[in-house]
Amino acid sequence: MRWKRIRAIAVKEMIQIRRDTRSLIIALFMPLMQLILLGYGVSLDIKHVPICVYDQEGSQNSQALLKHFQASDYFSITALLGNYRQVKRALDSDLCRVAIVVPHDFSERLSDQGSSTVSLLADASDDNTANIAIGYAQAVVATFSGNVQLEAAGFGGNPPPQGGVLLQERVWFNEGLDSRYFIIPGVIALIMALVGALLTSLTISREWERGTMELLISTPVSSNEVMAGKLIPYFVIGLADAVFCLVFAVFWFHVPFRGTLFTLFFTTSLFLVVVLGVGFLISAGIKSQIGATQIAVLVTLLPTSILSGYAFPIDQMPPVVQTITYLVFARYYVTILKALFLKGSGILDLASPIFAMIIYASVVAFLAGRAFKKTLD
Protein backbone atom coordinates (compact mmCIF):
# COMPACT_ATOMS: atom_id res chain seq x y z
CA MET A 1 0.00 0.00 0.00
CA ARG A 2 1.19 3.49 -0.83
CA TRP A 3 0.71 6.31 1.66
CA LYS A 4 0.09 8.97 -1.03
CA ARG A 5 -2.89 7.04 -2.37
CA ILE A 6 -4.26 6.40 1.11
CA ARG A 7 -3.88 10.08 1.96
CA ALA A 8 -5.72 11.10 -1.22
CA ILE A 9 -8.66 8.82 -0.40
CA ALA A 10 -8.67 10.09 3.20
CA VAL A 11 -8.76 13.73 2.06
CA LYS A 12 -11.59 12.91 -0.35
CA GLU A 13 -13.53 11.22 2.49
CA MET A 14 -13.05 14.21 4.78
CA ILE A 15 -14.50 16.48 2.09
CA GLN A 16 -17.47 14.11 1.79
CA ILE A 17 -18.01 14.18 5.54
CA ARG A 18 -17.87 17.98 5.60
CA ARG A 19 -20.47 18.20 2.85
CA ASP A 20 -22.73 15.50 4.29
CA THR A 21 -24.96 17.07 6.96
CA ARG A 22 -26.10 13.67 8.22
CA SER A 23 -22.54 12.50 8.85
CA LEU A 24 -21.70 15.73 10.67
CA ILE A 25 -24.73 15.38 12.94
CA ILE A 26 -23.81 11.77 13.75
CA ALA A 27 -20.17 12.65 14.42
CA LEU A 28 -20.64 15.88 16.39
CA PHE A 29 -24.08 16.00 17.99
CA MET A 30 -25.07 12.38 18.57
CA PRO A 31 -22.41 11.77 21.29
CA LEU A 32 -23.56 14.85 23.19
CA MET A 33 -27.25 13.93 22.89
CA GLN A 34 -26.68 10.34 23.96
CA LEU A 35 -24.52 11.29 26.93
CA ILE A 36 -27.10 13.78 28.22
CA LEU A 37 -30.17 11.62 27.54
CA LEU A 38 -28.72 8.33 28.79
CA GLY A 39 -26.65 9.91 31.56
CA TYR A 40 -29.69 11.55 33.11
CA GLY A 41 -32.43 9.26 31.82
CA VAL A 42 -31.01 5.87 32.80
CA SER A 43 -30.60 5.25 36.51
CA LEU A 44 -30.69 2.10 38.60
CA ASP A 45 -30.95 4.04 41.86
CA ILE A 46 -34.31 3.68 43.58
CA LYS A 47 -34.89 6.73 45.76
CA HIS A 48 -37.86 8.72 46.98
CA VAL A 49 -40.30 5.89 46.31
CA PRO A 50 -43.78 7.41 46.79
CA ILE A 51 -45.62 5.74 49.67
CA CYS A 52 -49.09 6.18 51.13
CA VAL A 53 -49.86 5.66 54.80
CA TYR A 54 -53.00 4.30 56.43
CA ASP A 55 -52.41 4.72 60.16
CA GLN A 56 -55.35 3.06 61.92
CA GLU A 57 -54.02 3.81 65.37
CA GLY A 58 -52.53 7.30 65.22
CA SER A 59 -50.45 6.72 68.37
CA GLN A 60 -47.05 8.04 69.34
CA ASN A 61 -45.46 4.71 68.41
CA SER A 62 -47.06 4.56 64.98
CA GLN A 63 -46.04 8.15 64.28
CA ALA A 64 -42.48 7.35 65.35
CA LEU A 65 -42.43 4.48 62.85
CA LEU A 66 -43.72 6.72 60.06
CA LYS A 67 -41.07 9.33 60.89
CA HIS A 68 -38.44 6.69 60.21
CA PHE A 69 -39.90 6.27 56.72
CA GLN A 70 -40.10 10.04 56.30
CA ALA A 71 -36.46 10.49 57.32
CA SER A 72 -35.27 7.91 54.81
CA ASP A 73 -33.99 9.05 51.41
CA TYR A 74 -35.59 6.00 49.86
CA PHE A 75 -39.19 6.93 50.59
CA SER A 76 -41.41 9.96 50.19
CA ILE A 77 -44.82 10.03 51.90
CA THR A 78 -47.31 11.35 49.36
CA ALA A 79 -50.65 10.84 51.12
CA LEU A 80 -52.23 10.01 54.48
CA LEU A 81 -55.25 7.78 53.89
CA GLY A 82 -58.31 6.94 55.98
CA ASN A 83 -59.48 3.51 54.76
CA TYR A 84 -58.59 0.53 52.58
CA ARG A 85 -60.68 1.84 49.68
CA GLN A 86 -58.47 4.90 49.49
CA VAL A 87 -55.38 2.66 49.66
CA LYS A 88 -56.61 0.65 46.69
CA ARG A 89 -57.43 3.80 44.73
CA ALA A 90 -54.01 5.31 45.50
CA LEU A 91 -52.18 2.21 44.23
CA ASP A 92 -54.39 1.94 41.15
CA SER A 93 -53.87 5.59 40.21
CA ASP A 94 -50.07 5.48 40.73
CA LEU A 95 -50.31 8.01 43.55
CA CYS A 96 -47.93 5.73 45.41
CA ARG A 97 -45.95 2.57 44.72
CA VAL A 98 -46.09 1.28 48.30
CA ALA A 99 -48.76 1.56 50.99
CA ILE A 100 -48.01 1.18 54.72
CA VAL A 101 -50.90 0.07 56.93
CA VAL A 102 -50.43 0.39 60.70
CA PRO A 103 -53.03 -1.74 62.59
CA HIS A 104 -55.24 -0.32 65.34
CA ASP A 105 -53.58 -2.48 68.03
CA PHE A 106 -50.01 -1.71 67.01
CA SER A 107 -48.90 -0.14 70.32
CA GLU A 108 -50.88 -2.58 72.46
CA ARG A 109 -49.26 -5.65 70.92
CA LEU A 110 -45.87 -3.95 71.01
CA SER A 111 -46.28 -3.35 74.74
CA ASP A 112 -47.84 -6.69 75.71
CA GLN A 113 -46.02 -9.09 73.40
CA GLY A 114 -42.87 -7.14 72.59
CA SER A 115 -43.62 -7.39 68.87
CA SER A 116 -46.19 -6.20 66.39
CA THR A 117 -46.84 -6.25 62.66
CA VAL A 118 -47.19 -3.61 59.98
CA SER A 119 -48.69 -4.35 56.56
CA LEU A 120 -46.96 -3.31 53.37
CA LEU A 121 -48.82 -3.32 50.06
CA ALA A 122 -46.56 -2.97 47.02
CA ASP A 123 -47.42 -2.30 43.39
CA ALA A 124 -45.46 -5.07 41.67
CA SER A 125 -46.29 -4.07 38.09
CA ASP A 126 -42.63 -2.97 38.16
CA ASP A 127 -41.23 -5.97 40.00
CA ASN A 128 -37.69 -4.60 40.28
CA THR A 129 -38.80 -1.42 42.03
CA ALA A 130 -41.20 -3.41 44.22
CA ASN A 131 -38.47 -5.83 45.36
CA ILE A 132 -36.05 -3.00 46.16
CA ALA A 133 -38.75 -0.98 47.96
CA ILE A 134 -39.69 -4.00 50.08
CA GLY A 135 -36.04 -4.46 51.05
CA TYR A 136 -35.73 -0.78 51.98
CA ALA A 137 -38.95 -0.94 54.02
CA GLN A 138 -37.70 -4.01 55.91
CA ALA A 139 -34.51 -2.11 56.76
CA VAL A 140 -36.48 0.90 58.04
CA VAL A 141 -38.72 -1.30 60.18
CA ALA A 142 -35.70 -3.22 61.51
CA THR A 143 -34.08 0.07 62.57
CA PHE A 144 -37.28 1.16 64.32
CA SER A 145 -37.56 -2.24 66.01
CA GLY A 146 -33.99 -2.03 67.30
CA ASN A 147 -34.65 1.41 68.78
CA VAL A 148 -37.79 0.13 70.49
CA GLN A 149 -35.88 -2.78 72.04
CA LEU A 150 -33.14 -0.46 73.31
CA GLU A 151 -35.71 1.85 74.87
CA ALA A 152 -37.53 -1.09 76.47
CA ALA A 153 -34.31 -2.42 77.96
CA GLY A 154 -33.46 1.02 79.34
CA PHE A 155 -36.86 1.56 80.96
CA GLY A 156 -36.74 -1.90 82.52
CA GLY A 157 -33.53 -1.06 84.37
CA ASN A 158 -31.52 -3.51 82.31
CA PRO A 159 -28.39 -2.47 80.45
CA PRO A 160 -28.76 -2.36 76.66
CA PRO A 161 -27.89 -5.64 74.98
CA GLN A 162 -24.29 -5.99 73.89
CA GLY A 163 -22.35 -8.41 71.76
CA GLY A 164 -23.67 -10.23 68.72
CA VAL A 165 -22.38 -10.04 65.18
CA LEU A 166 -21.95 -6.66 63.55
CA LEU A 167 -21.43 -6.11 59.85
CA GLN A 168 -18.88 -3.42 59.09
CA GLU A 169 -19.35 -2.28 55.51
CA ARG A 170 -16.55 -0.99 53.31
CA VAL A 171 -17.55 -0.25 49.74
CA TRP A 172 -14.82 -0.18 47.11
CA PHE A 173 -14.65 1.48 43.67
CA ASN A 174 -18.10 3.12 43.87
CA GLU A 175 -18.21 4.36 47.43
CA GLY A 176 -21.48 6.28 47.05
CA LEU A 177 -23.23 3.36 45.31
CA ASP A 178 -24.16 5.74 42.50
CA SER A 179 -25.56 3.84 39.51
CA ARG A 180 -24.48 6.69 37.21
CA TYR A 181 -20.86 5.67 37.78
CA PHE A 182 -21.83 2.18 36.60
CA ILE A 183 -23.80 3.35 33.56
CA ILE A 184 -21.77 6.23 32.08
CA PRO A 185 -18.75 4.09 31.02
CA GLY A 186 -21.16 1.76 29.24
CA VAL A 187 -22.79 4.77 27.57
CA ILE A 188 -19.39 5.70 26.13
CA ALA A 189 -19.08 2.22 24.60
CA LEU A 190 -22.61 2.50 23.20
CA ILE A 191 -21.79 5.87 21.62
CA MET A 192 -18.51 4.68 20.12
CA ALA A 193 -20.12 1.55 18.67
CA LEU A 194 -23.15 3.28 17.21
CA VAL A 195 -21.40 6.39 15.85
CA GLY A 196 -18.49 4.43 14.39
CA ALA A 197 -20.63 1.84 12.64
CA LEU A 198 -23.17 4.39 11.41
CA LEU A 199 -20.55 6.65 9.86
CA THR A 200 -18.56 3.91 8.12
CA SER A 201 -21.70 2.10 6.93
CA LEU A 202 -22.19 5.03 4.53
CA THR A 203 -18.71 5.03 2.98
CA ILE A 204 -19.11 2.61 0.05
CA SER A 205 -22.91 2.85 -0.24
CA ARG A 206 -22.53 6.62 -0.67
CA GLU A 207 -20.27 6.02 -3.66
CA TRP A 208 -22.87 3.74 -5.24
CA GLU A 209 -25.78 6.14 -4.70
CA ARG A 210 -23.90 9.18 -5.99
CA GLY A 211 -22.59 7.39 -9.05
CA THR A 212 -18.92 7.92 -8.17
CA MET A 213 -18.06 4.25 -7.76
CA GLU A 214 -17.03 3.98 -11.43
CA LEU A 215 -14.51 6.79 -10.95
CA LEU A 216 -13.13 5.16 -7.81
CA ILE A 217 -12.77 1.79 -9.52
CA SER A 218 -10.98 3.33 -12.50
CA THR A 219 -8.18 4.70 -10.29
CA PRO A 220 -5.01 2.65 -9.61
CA VAL A 221 -5.81 2.58 -5.88
CA SER A 222 -6.04 -0.96 -4.47
CA SER A 223 -8.95 -2.28 -2.41
CA ASN A 224 -6.93 -2.20 0.83
CA GLU A 225 -5.82 1.37 0.11
CA VAL A 226 -9.46 2.36 -0.42
CA MET A 227 -10.41 0.76 2.90
CA ALA A 228 -7.55 2.40 4.80
CA GLY A 229 -8.13 5.81 3.22
CA LYS A 230 -11.83 5.74 3.96
CA LEU A 231 -11.50 4.52 7.56
CA ILE A 232 -8.64 6.76 8.74
CA PRO A 233 -10.84 9.94 8.93
CA TYR A 234 -13.45 8.06 10.94
CA PHE A 235 -10.77 6.64 13.21
CA VAL A 236 -9.63 10.19 13.97
CA ILE A 237 -13.25 11.28 14.54
CA GLY A 238 -13.75 8.28 16.83
CA LEU A 239 -10.75 9.21 18.96
CA ALA A 240 -12.01 12.81 19.13
CA ASP A 241 -15.41 11.53 20.29
CA ALA A 242 -13.65 9.38 22.90
CA VAL A 243 -11.84 12.45 24.25
CA PHE A 244 -15.10 14.38 24.34
CA CYS A 245 -16.91 11.55 26.15
CA LEU A 246 -14.08 11.23 28.68
CA VAL A 247 -14.05 14.96 29.46
CA PHE A 248 -17.84 15.12 29.66
CA ALA A 249 -18.07 12.06 31.92
CA VAL A 250 -15.38 13.29 34.33
CA PHE A 251 -16.17 17.00 34.52
CA TRP A 252 -19.94 17.04 33.93
CA PHE A 253 -21.14 13.80 35.52
CA HIS A 254 -18.16 13.65 37.94
CA VAL A 255 -17.47 9.99 37.20
CA PRO A 256 -14.02 9.15 38.62
CA PHE A 257 -11.35 8.09 36.13
CA ARG A 258 -8.68 6.06 37.93
CA GLY A 259 -6.93 4.35 35.04
CA THR A 260 -4.26 5.58 32.63
CA LEU A 261 -4.93 7.49 29.42
CA PHE A 262 -2.56 5.18 27.54
CA THR A 263 -4.64 2.10 28.42
CA LEU A 264 -7.84 3.95 27.58
CA PHE A 265 -6.74 5.08 24.13
CA PHE A 266 -5.02 1.80 23.33
CA THR A 267 -8.18 -0.19 24.02
CA THR A 268 -10.35 2.48 22.37
CA SER A 269 -8.23 2.18 19.23
CA LEU A 270 -8.81 -1.58 19.20
CA PHE A 271 -12.53 -1.07 19.64
CA LEU A 272 -12.60 1.51 16.84
CA VAL A 273 -10.89 -0.94 14.50
CA VAL A 274 -13.70 -3.41 15.25
CA VAL A 275 -16.66 -1.03 14.88
CA LEU A 276 -15.23 0.73 11.83
CA GLY A 277 -14.50 -2.62 10.23
CA VAL A 278 -18.06 -3.79 10.95
CA GLY A 279 -19.44 -0.61 9.40
CA PHE A 280 -17.20 -1.02 6.33
CA LEU A 281 -18.37 -4.62 5.95
CA ILE A 282 -21.98 -3.47 5.99
CA SER A 283 -21.27 -0.67 3.52
CA ALA A 284 -19.48 -3.02 1.13
CA GLY A 285 -22.40 -5.43 1.10
CA ILE A 286 -25.33 -2.99 0.92
CA LYS A 287 -25.48 -0.35 -1.81
CA SER A 288 -28.28 1.70 -0.18
CA GLN A 289 -27.35 4.24 2.50
CA ILE A 290 -30.70 3.79 4.26
CA GLY A 291 -30.37 0.02 4.27
CA ALA A 292 -26.78 0.20 5.48
CA THR A 293 -27.77 2.57 8.28
CA GLN A 294 -30.58 0.27 9.44
CA ILE A 295 -28.30 -2.78 9.50
CA ALA A 296 -25.62 -0.81 11.36
CA VAL A 297 -28.12 0.17 14.07
CA LEU A 298 -29.33 -3.43 14.34
CA VAL A 299 -25.82 -4.86 14.59
CA THR A 300 -24.48 -2.33 17.12
CA LEU A 301 -27.28 -0.76 19.15
CA LEU A 302 -29.22 -3.84 20.25
CA PRO A 303 -26.28 -6.10 21.24
CA THR A 304 -24.39 -3.24 22.92
CA SER A 305 -27.37 -1.98 24.92
CA ILE A 306 -28.63 -5.40 26.03
CA LEU A 307 -25.83 -7.99 25.94
CA SER A 308 -22.66 -6.03 26.72
CA GLY A 309 -23.19 -5.49 30.45
CA TYR A 310 -23.70 -1.77 29.82
CA ALA A 311 -26.73 -1.60 32.12
CA PHE A 312 -27.76 -5.20 32.77
CA PRO A 313 -25.26 -7.39 34.68
CA ILE A 314 -24.23 -10.36 32.55
CA ASP A 315 -23.85 -12.69 35.54
CA GLN A 316 -27.58 -12.33 36.24
CA MET A 317 -28.57 -13.50 32.76
CA PRO A 318 -29.49 -17.12 31.93
CA PRO A 319 -26.48 -19.33 31.16
CA VAL A 320 -27.35 -19.59 27.45
CA VAL A 321 -27.53 -15.81 27.11
CA GLN A 322 -24.26 -15.43 29.03
CA THR A 323 -22.60 -17.68 26.45
CA ILE A 324 -23.99 -15.57 23.60
CA THR A 325 -22.55 -12.40 25.13
CA TYR A 326 -19.03 -13.65 24.37
CA LEU A 327 -19.82 -13.00 20.70
CA VAL A 328 -20.71 -9.36 21.39
CA PHE A 329 -17.59 -7.27 20.78
CA ALA A 330 -18.87 -4.40 22.95
CA ARG A 331 -18.88 -6.69 26.01
CA TYR A 332 -15.08 -6.56 26.25
CA TYR A 333 -14.86 -2.80 25.78
CA VAL A 334 -17.55 -2.18 28.42
CA THR A 335 -15.64 -4.40 30.85
CA ILE A 336 -12.45 -2.45 30.13
CA LEU A 337 -14.09 0.96 30.50
CA LYS A 338 -15.73 0.16 33.84
CA ALA A 339 -12.47 -1.25 35.19
CA LEU A 340 -10.52 1.80 33.99
CA PHE A 341 -12.96 4.37 35.33
CA LEU A 342 -13.81 2.83 38.69
CA LYS A 343 -10.98 0.44 39.57
CA GLY A 344 -7.98 1.99 37.83
CA SER A 345 -7.00 -1.38 36.35
CA GLY A 346 -3.88 -1.66 34.23
CA ILE A 347 -3.17 -3.56 31.03
CA LEU A 348 -2.10 -6.70 32.90
CA ASP A 349 -5.35 -6.70 34.90
CA LEU A 350 -7.31 -6.40 31.65
CA ALA A 351 -5.30 -8.96 29.69
CA SER A 352 -8.28 -11.23 28.93
CA PRO A 353 -10.68 -8.63 27.45
CA ILE A 354 -7.79 -6.89 25.62
CA PHE A 355 -6.72 -10.20 24.08
CA ALA A 356 -10.30 -10.85 22.98
CA MET A 357 -10.43 -7.34 21.45
CA ILE A 358 -7.19 -7.98 19.55
CA ILE A 359 -8.60 -11.22 18.10
CA TYR A 360 -11.86 -9.50 17.19
CA ALA A 361 -10.03 -6.56 15.57
CA SER A 362 -7.81 -8.88 13.55
CA VAL A 363 -10.71 -10.97 12.26
CA VAL A 364 -12.89 -7.95 11.39
CA ALA A 365 -10.00 -6.13 9.68
CA PHE A 366 -9.26 -9.24 7.60
CA LEU A 367 -12.91 -9.68 6.58
CA ALA A 368 -13.32 -5.98 5.80
CA GLY A 369 -10.23 -6.07 3.59
CA ARG A 370 -11.69 -8.96 1.58
CA ALA A 371 -15.22 -7.57 1.46
CA PHE A 372 -14.59 -4.68 -0.91
CA LYS A 373 -13.60 -5.48 -4.46
CA LYS A 374 -13.03 -2.98 -7.24
CA THR A 375 -15.77 -4.30 -9.53
CA LEU A 376 -19.16 -3.05 -10.66
CA ASP A 377 -20.92 -6.30 -9.70
Would you list the domain boundaries of the chain? 3-43+178-371, 49-142
What is the model's pLDDT at position 163? 45
What is the model's pLDDT at position 165? 47
φ, ψ (nearest 5 deg) of residue 101: -120, 115
Whether the per-residue pLDDT at 29 is higher than 90: the answer is: no
Q: What is the CA radius of gyration of the chain?
A: 29
- Return the CATH fold of 49-142: abc type-2 transporter like fold (3.40.1710)
The 8-class DSSP code of residue 96 comes to -
162 band by pLDDT with thresholds 50, 70 and 90: low
Neighbour count for residue 16 (Cβ, 10 Å): 18
Q: How close are the terminal C-alpha atoms of the chain, in Å?
A: 24
Closest by CA position to 149, among listed 162, 138, 133: 162
What pairs with residue 79 in β-bridges?
Answer: 52
Angle between the N-to-C axes of helices 289-307 and 261-285, in degrees from 0 to 180, rounded to the nearest 10:
140
Rounded distance between C-alpha atoms, residue 13 and residue 279, angstroms: 15
What is the model's pLDDT at position 258? 93
343-359 pLDDT tens trace: 999 899 999 999 999 99
Rounded to two decimals, the pTM is: 0.80
291 band by pLDDT with thresholds 50, 70 and 90: confident
Strands (DSSP E) along 32-152, which ranges?
49-55, 75-80, 98-102, 119-122
The 8-class DSSP code of residue 259 comes to S
Taken as a whole, the chain contains a residue count of 377
Whether the per-residue pLDDT at 123 is higher than 80: the answer is: yes
**Amino acid symbol at 67:** K
What is the model's pLDDT at position 164? 42
What is the model's pLDDT at position 227? 87
Are 95 and 50 within 8 A, CB to CB?
A: yes
Q: Are strands 98-102 and 75-80 parallel, antiparallel or unpaired?
A: unpaired
